[in-house]
Amino acid sequence: MKPGMSLMKHYLQFKDFRAEEYAYLFERVRTIKQRFKNYERYQPLVDRTLAMIFEKASTRTRVSFEAGMYQMGGSVVHLTSGDSQFGRDEPIEDAARVISRMVDLVMIRTYEHAKIERFAAHSRVPVINGLTNEYHPCQILADLYTYIEQRGSIAGKVVAWVGDGNNMANTWLQAADILGFTLHVSTPGGYEINMDLVGVSNPACLKTFKSPFAACEGAHLVTTDVWTSMGFEAENAVRKKAFADWCVDTQMMQLAQDDALFMHCLPAHRGEEVAADVIDGPQSVVWDEAENRLHVQKALMEYLLLGRIG
Ligand code: CP
Ligand code: NVA
């Protein structure tokens, strides 16, 4: 951290940043993405190291953080539970003290959110949430940027969430609260968002619906996620039955705005939470959404390590 910079920040939940910080970040993403597309070298993180700790599987998160850090001139250390002491019960506080003396930034994908909070509380360097059971803020950052890039401001718009009240849904709700849009949520009974956990300041940003069709009516963006998130595999058979009617299909998309977008954080299961003709159809922006993980996380790492540029 440069002398004179404000206090170190972590990015563990969407609500860790204010609306005004997101406005700054989205502007930086635009610049950083444009430079990348123009093959312009931009290496503000030379000699900086990112440690990535994965206790769950990943494709997009790993590739986007690793490629992003190298593109910005830095380097990466990749750890998993299987090849480090993480899987052998070293206290997380000790791991945080040690790792954060050796690197400049840490990204963690793990199970309980409490674990990343304990790591952050003992870390000398910023910690980024690469997904916990409760939140996935880097993904929502990419989803929001994708919406803004294609349709402009998301303030005042309606986002329909169809499916599990999971880490993605929780994070969408925090985003709706902070950025001023409405989240329509339809989940099967027993899989609702835990409002106490998410902690919104404006309850009007959430509208719940029994019917997933009703949730999609008038939406500017329809989005969903797997029926069974990582860590919940033992519930797979029960969930398959409970979620059978929560499949985003063309009928749901027709109830949304004519120019509504479809997003999915991926990996997707065609024929379960989304019909193939929706995810592979003209309203789907899932490949831009996945690519934007790279660009938003580069802006995020720059912000956490260097503060505001210019
Ligand atoms: N969307 C997402 O986080 O993908 P991975 O699990 O592949 O990282
Ligand atoms: N909700 C999913 C997201 C995967 C990127 C999970 O936690 O497995």
What does each of the 310 residues of the chain score in pLDDT, given as a tens digit? 454 455 899 999 999 999 999 999 999 999 999 999 999 999 999 999 999 999 999 999 999 999 999 999 999 999 999 999 988 989 999 999 999 999 999 999 999 999 999 999 999 999 999 999 999 999 999 999 999 999 999 999 999 999 999 999 999 999 999 999 999 999 999 999 999 999 999 999 999 999 999 999 999 999 999 999 999 999 999 999 999 999 999 999 999 999 999 999 999 999 999 999 999 999 999 999 999 999 999 999 999 999 999 7
Residue 139 is a catalytic residue: yes
d(CA 138, ligand 2 centre) in Å: 12
HSE on the CB side for 186, CA within 13 Å?
Answer: 24
CA distances, 175 to each of 172, 210, 226 (Å): 5, 22, 20
Residues contacting residue 304 through CB under 8 Å, at least 6 positions apart: 9, 11, 105, 126, 128
How many residues belong to the chain? 310
Instruction: Compute how many other C-beta atoms are within 10 angstroms of the C-beta atom of residue 87.
Output: 12
- Of all atoms in ligand 1, which is nearest to the CA of residue 131? 3
CATH number belonging to domain 14-136+290-306: 3.40.50.1370
- Of all atoms in ligand 1, which is nearest to the CA of residue 266? 1
Structure tokens at 68: 């992003």
Q: Where in the chain is the domain with CATH 3.40.50.1370?
A: 14-136+290-306, 138-287
For residue 28, the surrounding DSSP H or E stretch is: helix 19-37
- The CATH T-level fold of domain 138-287 is Rossmann fold (3.40.50)
CA distances, 235 to each of 135, 185, 232, 240, 296 (Å): 19, 21, 6, 9, 33
Q: What span, in angstroms and rounded, lies between the C-alpha atoms of 222 and 230?
A: 22
Does the predicted TM-score (pTM) go above 0.85? yes
| Closest residue by CA, ligand 1 atom 7 | 59
| Closest residue by CA, ligand 2 atom 7 | 229
